[in-house]
A and B are shown apart, each in its own frame.
Chain A
Amino acid sequence: MNIHDVKVDLPDETLREFWTRFMDLRKKRFYAFCEVEVHNNGLVQPNISLSSARGQEAFRILAFRVIEELAESIQANSVEHKLEEMADAINYVLSIPYLDLSIISSTSVLESCIFLSKPGNFLGSQLDFYDLGGVAYQLGVETGDYLRNRAWTKNAQDLYFVGARKLMECLQIILSVLFVPFVDFDQLRWYLIAKDEVLKFRIRTNY
């Protein structure tokens, strides 16, 4: 079952209406998968402080999932497959705020998505390993430098996460890269809603 096997209804809606609706869907799916994750002793949970060692580990896991999906997209042969994996990567990026809404509010991500949905940001061109390196750099170095409370150290280097502004900048940069392969906003919208339908199906069928 994938995006081509689900029914996608796209109502007439403004950018703001779409992103507001979609962020709500994203939150629902993220919370639903976190419920599964808690049963598997996974670390990714909503409302987990990004100042804690555990919260920072959860961030690293989501960051790796973004890189994993982007790599899968680059490796895929068909355009449909590439864009489907890209939608997965975007979904993981948009899940990051829900780890700790005191650091990044969903509203600020929503505003970024609206801002980035301008026609010039959609080029319909394929990403390559340089883009992957750029995204990995943003997550691993630019943001990673602020993740100083490590589970394997007895004392935290920073008691509080102080990288909120940098993290928001990184997420914006990464989203702007991930939007590039789509030809326009409508195509991005179609893939995000189709993928959400697939995720709903997976949750219903005990994936």
Chain B
Amino acid sequence: MRNFADVREAGLEIRRDLFKGPKVASSRVQQFTELQGLEAHERFGYSYSIEADGFPPSVDEVVDVGTRLAFPDYQTEAGRDRMRRWLRLERSDRLIDKPLAGPNGLTEELHPRLISTVEGKWPSYRYAERMKGAVEILAIQLLRAPDTRRAYWPIFWQTDVYRSHAPTRVPCSLGYQFLIRKVNEDLVLYLLYYQRSADFEHFWLSDVWLAQQFQSFLRIKIINLAGESSPLCSLKMGSFIHFIASFHLFDDELGEIY
């Protein structure tokens, strides 16, 4: 497993690792096959970690990293503004305990092909729906059994399998697992993030940052619920560990990578 100090160096090196991977025929997003002959460089079973303090703390800094890493969605002021709005909204919808908001249309604005996968007026799934209650429930479970290996929150459901063949929306994330382990004298919260598929250029940065925000929100929730006498009241952030079954990079978006 590659071990990176921060998101920037991870992004730079992962792009190269993927570029060295074999080319496979691939649809772009959610089984859309209108772009025949499209190829992607793909690595199977790719994994890496990023140190706990290696993430940008604010949305503005994430957008800055995306711009510096030359991700296509961050290259114009309009694009950066869209990403800022989307990241703020997604973080809030996914992680803050409040009545579930309806679809906001920003996801479809970012990825226009997804408009045709909206069923009626509602997307077939949203992270906000599937993560509803995740922070609270996981925090309570981890407080009851800090050493559990069962603190896993699924995003990909059985019903998604029935749509494997279809040009409709299913999540790229399989789920998030949290483990608390003692490192020296500290209790540390690790996130293991599992994805079935990830398009590096368009989705990696936001997927990773929102997952790490989940870890951060969960840690704060555990500390708040723990009480001063609990060893969990000083819970530390641990590494972010990412496993991706098919990690890919589309050939038509690349320059010379070496």
Contact = CB atoms under 8 A, between A and B. Distances in A.
Nearest to A73: B258
Contact of A76 (B3, B5, B256): B256
A1 B9 contact: yes
B118 interface: no
Interface of A: 1-2, 5, 76-78, 81, 84-85, 201, 204-207
B12 A1 contact: yes
B13 A1 contact: yes
Interface string B2-27: 11110001001100100000000000
Pick from A1, A78, A81 the residue with the most CB of B within 10 Å. Answer: A1
B1 interface: yes
B2 A207 contact: yes
A205 B256 contact: no
A116 to B, nearest CB: 25
Nearest to A85: B258
Contact of B2 (A76, A78, A205): A205
Given A1-B12, A205-B13, A81 B256 contact: yes
A81 B3 contact: no
A205 B258 contact: no
B228 to A, nearest CB: 39
Given A1-B16, A2-B16, A81 B258 contact: yes
A126 to B, nearest CB: 15
Nearest 4 Cβ contacts at the A-B interface: A1-B12, A1-B13, A81-B258, A205-B2
Contacts of B5: 205
A78 B3 contact: no
B1 A206 contact: yes
Interface residues of B, number: 12
Contacts of B1: 206
Interface centre among A76, A77, A84, A204 (most CB of B within 10 A): A204
A119 B99 CA distance: 73
A76 B4 contact: no
Contact of A201 (B9, B256, B257, B258): B9
Contacts of B256: 76-78, 81
Contacts of A207: 2
A206 B14 CA distance: 12
A206 B3 contact: yes
A84 B258 contact: yes
Nearest to A72: B258
Contacts of A2: 12, 16, 257-258
A33 to B, nearest CB: 15
Contacts of A201: 9, 13
Contacts of A206: 1-3
Output the residue of B4, B13, B256 with the most chain A CB within 10 A. B13
25 contacts: A2-B16, A2-B257, A2-B258, A5-B9, A76-B256, A76-B258, A77-B256, A78-B256, A81-B256, A81-B258, A84-B258, A85-B258, A201-B9, A201-B13, A204-B3, A205-B2, A205-B3, A205-B4, A205-B5, A205-B9, A205-B13, A206-B1, A206-B2, A206-B3, A207-B2
A124 to B, nearest CB: 20
Contacts of A76: 256, 258
Contacts of A78: 256
Given A84-B258, A201-B13, A206-B2, 14 more contacts: A1-B12, A2-B12, A2-B16, A2-B258, A5-B9, A76-B256, A77-B256, A85-B258, A204-B3, A205-B2, A205-B3, A205-B4, A206-B1, A206-B3
A205 B54 CA distance: 14
Contacts of B2: 205-207
Interface in B225-258: 256-258
Contacts of B13: 1, 201, 205
Nearest to A2: B258
A76 B257 CA distance: 10
Contacts of B3: 204-206
A54 B191 CA distance: 44
Contacts of B16: 1-2
B240 to A, nearest CB: 14
